[in-house]
Structure formats: C-alpha cells, structure tokens
Amino acid sequence: MKKWVLLFGYAFVFLIGFWQKEMFLDWIESDSIQLLPLMFLASVFLGLFPVIPFGLFAGMMGAKFGPIWGAFINWTGSVGSAWLFFLFVRYGYQQTGRHYLAKYPRLALLTRAFEQNAFVAVLFARLIPFIPSPVINIYAAISAVRFPTFALATAIGKIPTMLVFALLGDQLFHNAQRSLLTLLAYAGFLGIAILLYRRWQTRGKAKTSS
C-alpha cells in the first residue's frame, strides 16, 4: 500500500508541475534579484520533478545570476534532488528492486561489483553524464550502497557538469567564442574521465581474475 501511495503522490505533484510549467517559467525569468533564495528550492523541485529540462533551467541560472551563483544553485538542486530521490527509492522500493535484480544472475553479479566499489562507481557515473541521473539514483538506492557514500560521490561528481551549465548560460548570448572554448574544455575533461574509468575497470577485472 505504501508503495502505491508514494508513487501516486509523486505522479500527482509531477502532473501539477507540468500543468503549471508556463507559469513556472515566467516566474523563473522574472528580473527580481529577491528570487535568488527561492531558486535553490526551485532547483531541487526541478531535479525531482523535471517538468522542464534541468539543463534548460541550469543554463537560465547561469544567464540570470552569473557563473558562480548559477553553478551553486544548479549544484544544490541536482545534488539535493539526487539525495532525496535515493531516500525515496531506498525506503519505498528497495526490497521490490532487490527481488527484481535477483531474477537476473548477470545483473545481480554486476550489482555486487558496483556495491564493492560504490564510491568510485557513483563518482565516475556522475563525472561521465551519459547515464541519466535518475537511473543512477534508482540503481544505487536498490543496491546496498550506503547513503553517505552515495551522497559524497554525488556531491563531488556533480560539480563539473553543473559549472559547465552555468558557464554556458552566462556566456551563450555574450561571448559565443568563450562558450565554444568551455565546451571544448569540458569535452577534454570527459575524455580524461573516461580514460581513468577504463583504467580503473581494467585494474578491477585484473584483480578479480587473479
């Protein structure tokens, strides 16, 4: 019963937010600097209920408040919503998820490897943003990964992407050349992160086989 109540509550809030998204966008775009404290709450809300793409909101924060405050708002919302979503799944659906994973031996084996190297696995998943954030949150919450481990890895791993969103939002309409340089620098960072991840995977497989 609790599972359905939680799911219904989430769907209800999402539908209300989606229905009012135009009003929400108008509120975000208003020029009042007094909205700054409320933007932190808005960022957490949009991280949990993506009624508008979080990347769009993150770019708007950079354009509206500059790269420093914009990045901080983005990071707060992205990290805070990931923590809350983790707890939502952990205390509402972990047992159901574990039963599902147990049906697939290969997936269960992957989960055990993930749990043994939880901090590094979550950190690289955040640094290399090809896997959707909700998938990481759900998978980590279903597994036996401890919340402090997930929370710290997420907090560190979210920094580069949220900073890039804010920088692009701040630069896009003022300095297109600098925006391109930001994208190239981020692409280089991703290349290094992917290389390090592959080396870490190779070492992990070598240790397992030995």
Three-state SS for 19-64 is: HCHHHHHHHHHCCCHHHHHHHHHHHHHHHHCCCCCHHHHHHHHHHH
The reply to whether 174 falls in a domain is yes
The reply to whether 24 falls in a domain is no
Q: Is the pLDDT of residue 208 over 60?
A: no
The reply to whether 6 falls in a domain is no
The reply to whether 7 falls in a domain is no
Whether the pTM exceeds 0.85: the reply is: no
Number of domains, the chain: 1
Q: What is the pLDDT of residues 83-114, one digit of tens each?
A: 999 999 998 888 888 888 778 777 777 788 78
Q: What percent of the chain has pLDDT over 90?
A: 24
User: The domain containing residue 60 runs over which residues?
Assistant: 56-205
Q: What is the pLDDT of residue 32?
A: 58
Band the pLDDT of 209: cuts 50, 70, 90: low
Mean pLDDT of 36-52: 87
Is residue 181 within 8 A of residue 94, CB to CB? The reply is no
The reply to whether 17 falls in a domain is no
The reply to whether 13 falls in a domain is no
The reply to whether 30 falls in a domain is no
Q: What is the pLDDT of residue 137?
A: 93
Mean pLDDT of 28-46: 78
The reply to whether 175 falls in a domain is yes
